[in-house]
Structure 1
Amino acid sequence: MLKASKVRRPGAAAAAWLAAAALAGSTAQAAEDAPAVQSLPGIRAAAEAQVRSQLAGVSYRVRVRAQEPDARLHLPGCPEPLAAAGAVSAAPAARVTVRVSCTAPHRAWSIYVPVSVESDIPLLVLRQSQIRGARLSAQEVSLETRTVPGLGAAYLGDVAALAHRSLIRAVPAGTALTADLFQSDLLIRQGQTVTLVAAGPGIEVRAPARSLEDAREGAHVRVQNLASQRVVQGVVDASGLVYATP
């Protein structure tokens, strides 16, 4: 009669050792397959891709260009996809810096890559030179598409944005208009009676007050409550109400 032989199966420790050995082998093979020197265009591409990942939803043309790393740079070739990280923001600035890295064992490195951002956007352009204090309307501007740094958030693209504003300095013809070229009209004059609003969770109290200075929309202004004679500070909204601040 044949005697049954006992078959030994590898235990958990042996299985783990085999898996680790296989992983080490694949990692070693990947390192062997990697180029000796990292491709500089690959570094640029990783930096540009990181910036483009923040541009989801942008409806106009945006150009993203990473600066070419120094040709004398010889980094070890990375056997895995490059990692890229930059400052997280709602809208990338005209120039940002992206950190591109290789995290592979024995080949780890990092490099900082400058990336420029430009956009083609429709914006308002001045038809003729204007003096300081000029108030503009649709007749004084034209709508053009121009290439601007970053995403162009500071540029005006709608004639409605010209209302209740005046130029703070003389501006030559052909200038693309930005918000910082204007100041809002004075909504409140010194000595004027205004409505002071104190708001909190579920409550709003209004009281008459006297302004102690001129103020524009969005500006802080000191006012005196006519009932209590107390002087408080508030912020002027578009309708001329003064909202008390802590």
Structure 2
Amino acid sequence: MSLKTDAMVNAARVKLVDLVEIDVETNHLDEHLMKTMAAVDMGNAPLPGYSLRFSRKEIERIVRASGQVKAIEWRGADAVKVERLAKVFDSAQLAIAAENYLKKVLGNGQNQVVVETAERLPELLLAEGQVDIKARNLTRAEAMHARVTVWLDVTVAGMFSRSVRVPLKVKVMEQTFVAKRDLLKGITPACEDLLVLEMDVASLDGAALPADCSMLKGSLKRNIPSGTALTQNYLQLPNAINHGDTVNLLFSSGALLLESKALALANGEVGQRIQVRPAAATETIAAIVVAPGVAKVIGN
């Protein structure tokens, strides 16, 4: 066999025929054996833009393991460099995919979402085949920022090729509450204290509140100046459990979920850890607040 110096492949797997030239007449190989040897699998092809190196020794090990020949008479190069045939993929399609994904996550039918790439995307080399692009999941809260990174997973002919980072600039024009006057820490804002204005809520420090007076809950944790958007960061929500409350305490026993009563020894919002004392017990245990008036034993 004569080993090539360079080889260019256009498939996901490298075959022996890609790397060598087999002298059929000299080696008296029949057509069936020739085809069998040519199809010996050498492993994964490199990704576009990368290369692999196969030495004579490595090729001989794989060929002999296939059981087709016992020994190889070599000619040609000592090693072959393998590259993958590639095409330049239009990076504008990546930008469009990322922008459309963010618009889908952030849009609610009543706001205006404006998204554009924050940086020029690099040239992308891909193998031949059908290209599919899928964005990794983001929650609305994760996407609601002035600068967001969307990761795209790119597959070619059904096989994963690479991941691409797409940085984006985001504006979400939406109606939200703004303080009509200076509001002091501790008060519970009412509709008469607020204006409803359209503004870029993605640039706010905290989650914007929907412009719905019936959903106003909680007191101010700090002063809020006139003209400032009222975000969730300014509000202290009512506790789901208060110190001294009798709460429903949940705990698991095998496949059963059991419930008993306990005394809350601290205030707690949903998701917070508090200490409780089960009824008729003297020791306290840790529990997580899971709903108003309900806590679940930690580690259970």
Give the TM-score taking structure 2 as reference length: 0.53
Q: Deviations over 1:32-75 (max 9, x none)?
A: xx9xx88xxx52453133331351773132111013528xx777
Which residue number corresponds to residue 98 of structure 2? Answer: 50
Q: Is residue 222 of structure 2 the alignment partner of residue 196 of structure 1?
A: no
Distance 1:86 1:103 in 2: 15
Counterpart for residue 180 of structure 1: 233
1:137-176 equivalent positions in 2, closer than 5 A: 137-149=190-202, 154-157=207-210, 158-163=212-217, 165-176=218-229
Task: Say which SS state the counterpart of residue 50 (structure 1) adopts.
Answer: helix
Given residue 224 of structure 1, which amino acid in structure 2 is its aligned partner?
R
Candidates 254, 259, 272, aligned match of 1:205 = 259
- Equivalent-residue separation in structure 1 for 2:251 and 2:162 (angstroms): 54
Alignment RMSD = 4.1
1:101, CA displacement in angstroms?
7.2
- Quick one: structure 1 residues 81 and 232, their matched pair in 2 at CA, closer, same or farther if it must change by over 3 Å? same
SS in 2 for 1:47: helix
What whole-Å deviation, never above 9, does each CA across 1:93-133 have from its counterpart, x for those lacking one?
A: 231145597979xxx99864422222122211111111111
Q: 3-state DSSP class of the match of 1:215? A: coil
CA contact (8 A) 1:187 1:217 kept: yes
Are the aligned partners of 1:44 and 1:66 in contact in 2 as well (CA < 8 Å)? no
Of 118, 141, 149, the residue aligned with 2:171 is: 118
Aligned equivalent of 2:272, options 219, 225, 242: 219
> The residue matched to 1:170 in structure 2 has which SS?
coil
Quick one: structure 1 residues 214 and 109, their matched pair in 2 at CA, closer, same or farther if it must change by over 3 Å?
closer
Q: In 1, Cα distance between the equivalents of 2:221 and 2:198?
A: 24
1:225-240 matches, within 5 Å, as 225-236=278-289, 239-240=292-293
2:133 touches 2:155 (CA, 8 Å); kept in 1? Answer: no
The 3-state SS of whatever aligns with 1:52 is helix
Matched, 1:87 2:136: yes
- 1:46/1:100 contact within 8 Å kept: no
How many Å separate the matches in 2 of 1:171 and 1:88?
A: 34
**Divergent runs of 4+, >6 A:** 73-82, 100-104, 108-111, 150-153
How many pairs does the alignment contain?
203
What is the letter of the counterpart of residue 215 of structure 1?
G
Matched, 1:132 2:185: yes
Offset at residue 176 of structure 1 (A):
1.4
- What is the aligned-residue identity percentage? 20
The offset of 1:78, in angstroms, is: 10
Is there any run of 5+ residues in structure 1 with no aligned partner, and where?
1-30
Whether the 8 Å CA contact 1:62–1:151 is kept in 2: the answer is: no
Shift of 1:239: 3.5
**Aligned equivalents of 1:144, 1:61: Cα separation in 2:** 14
| Structure-1-length-normalised TM-score | 0.63
The answer on whether the counterparts of 1:221 and 1:235 sit within 8 Å (CA) in structure 2 is yes
Q: SS at the partner of 2:201?
A: strand
Instruction: Spell out, residue by residue over 1:136-182, the C-alpha distance to the aligned partner (whole angstroms, 9 max, x if none).
Output: 1111112222122289992111323322x111111111121221211
Q: Distance in 2 between matches of 1:235 and 1:102?
A: 42
Question: 1 or 2, which has the higher strand percentage?
Answer: 2
